[in-house]
Structures are given as C-alpha cells and as structure tokens.
Amino acid sequence: MRVVGILFALVVATIGCSGAPAPAQLTILAASSLSTSMADLTTAWKQTHPQTNLVSSTGSSAALRTQIEQGAPADVFLSADTSNPQALVDEGRAIRLTIFTTNSLVVIVPSANPATITSPADLGRSGVCVIAAGVDVPITTYAEKVAANLSSQPGYGSDFATRYDANVCSREDNVGAVVSKISLGEGDAAIVYATDAESATSVTTIQLPAAANVIATYGGVVVKASTDVFTASDFLTWLVGPDGQAALAAHGFGAAP
C-alpha cells in the first residue's frame, strides 16, 4: 500500500507541474499600411483561435520580402501588393498567394496647408515638395500609376507625371513614414492609401478623380519555412472570411475581390 501511495503522489505531482501547454504562435510580417488594423485582427483571431497567439511586425512590403529571403523567421507575409508575395512563391519560399483586401489612394497635405494645395493638379506645380516612398515600395508604384492616369485627365497636361516626379523632394522607407512627414509639415503633399489618411492626424485629405484612381490589391502568402504551415494557412483562410474581412473593413479597407 505504501508503494501505491508513493506512485499516486508522483503522478499527481507530475500533472501539477506540467500545466496547460503553451499557446502556439504565428509571426506575421505585414505591410506598413496594415499597422493600425493588426491589433483588431489579432483580437478577432483570438476569439475563435484562443490556442494561437499572433505576433506581428510591420514595414515596407519590399523590405519584408527581403527579410524573408534572408531567412528572417515568419509564418505569414501580408503585402500591400501581389508582386512581392508572388516573387516569394516563384522563388519557392512561399505558398498559397491569397488576395485578402483592397485599398484606394488619396492626396494628403498638412492641415495648415502652407502651399495652398487644393487639387491633385497642384502636385505638378513648380516649387511643391512631394513626399514619396522608395522606388521599391508598393505605394510608389500605385502613386506613379495615378500620376500617369492624371496626365490624360482634362486640365492636368500630358506632362503631369513628369512634373510630379520632378517635385518628389524626399523618399521614405514606407508609407507610414510618408504620412508622418506630411503630418509634421515637412512636405507639401503626398499620395497615400486612403486608410492611412483616415487614421492620420494633422492632415487634410484631397480626393483623386475616380477615373484616375487605382485599386491597391493586397496579397498574403504562407512562408514555407514556417514551423506551423497548417495554422498559417488557416490564418489566411480566416482573413478572407467574415471575421477577418470585418476587422479590415473597420479600418477602411475594401473587400477581397
């Protein structure tokens, strides 16, 4: 009986020390323009997936892609375009390209608006300081498409895109840094995502002509080096589902096509 008692005590002690298993963790590398929505996405995910924590880091989509190529640990990559995640798929570093949301573009100026910019046409006016992102950042590609489209609009002039490009006086690491510079009055204007303009302070928004605007399409992939490909894939499925889409819509993002 004494031996049985000792064994029972050992079993109880083992159970007490083991405790509940630690929650799994997914590392999400997300585009800078998703910064304000990641907290809500994390909260919504945890409501139906309490066993998995989300840890996110944001930055330029191009820079995040480079980090993954260099071996940075990540489970999911959420980009502000489809070309960067598709490149990882083509390189054999990622799987399952999923388009999960959309965005549109606007012009922002400092609230004080010292350059008195009232129309997108003013971005091609001599002496205007346009803040932009680096040439590899998705917002730059979208903004250049907008400038090219405006060149064919009445009142802009066929050389508008050239004049716009000549007015770029600073190039930042990501769209968040672009918005910050305009908020601080360190530039006259910038073309940014509508969602960033909506969450920014000390800026005024100027709408672009609908005929010249472009739709920014966001793509996500599962990183092949993920330690939990199954859960990472489940996250992308969830993101395009009702709960993920509702969390994104609350921040002004458009529905996944």
DSSP string covering the chain = -HHHHHHHHHHHHHHHHH-SPPPEEEEEEEEGGGHHHHHHHHHHHHHH-TTEEEEEEEE-HHHHHHHHHTT---SEEEESSSHHHHHHHHTTSEEEEEEEEEE-EEEEEETT-TT---SGGGGGSTT--EEEE-TTSHHHHHHHHHHHHHTTSTTT-TTHHHHHHHTEEEEESSHHHHHHHHHTTSSSBEEEEHHHHHH-SSEEEEPPPTTT---EEEEEEEETT-S-HHHHHHHHHHHTSHHHHHHHHTTTPBPP-
The CA dihedral of 171, 31, 40, 254, to the nearest 10 degrees, is 90
- pLDDT number for residue 215: 97
Band of the pLDDT at 257, cuts 50, 70, 90? confident
Q: Name beta bridge partners: 191.
A: 107
Between CA 42 and CA 54 the distance in angstroms is 6
- pLDDT number for residue 13: 42
Q: Per-residue pLDDT tens for 226-253?
A: 999 999 999 999 999 999 999 999 999 9
Position 22 pLDDT exceeds 80: no
Longest dimension (CA), the chain: 97
Band of the pLDDT at 10, cuts 50, 70, 90? very low
Band of the pLDDT at 109, cuts 50, 70, 90? very high
- pLDDT number for residue 21: 54
Domain boundaries 105-206, CATH class: alpha beta
169 CB-side CA count, 13 A: 15
- pLDDT number for residue 207: 98
Average pLDDT over every residue of 10-33: 67
Average pLDDT over every residue of 75-97: 97
Q: Per-residue pLDDT tens for 66-81?
A: 999 999 999 999 999 9
Band of the pLDDT at 24, cuts 50, 70, 90? confident
Say if 23-103+216-249 and 105-206 have the same CATH topology.
yes
Position 19 pLDDT exceeds 70: no
- pLDDT number for residue 40: 97
Dig out the tokens for 96 from the structure: 């399952």
Which CATH superfamily includes the segment(s) 23-103+216-249? Periplasmic binding protein-like II (3.40.190.10)
pTM summary value: 0.90
- pLDDT number for residue 6: 41
Q: Per-residue pLDDT tens for 179-237?
A: 999 999 999 999 999 999 999 999 999 999 999 999 999 999 999 999 999 999 999 99
Position 90 pLDDT exceeds 50: yes
Phi, psi of 192 (to 5 degrees): -135, 175
Q: What percent of the chain has pLDDT over 70?
A: 91
Domains of the chain, residue spans:
23-103+216-249, 105-206
- pLDDT number for residue 201: 93
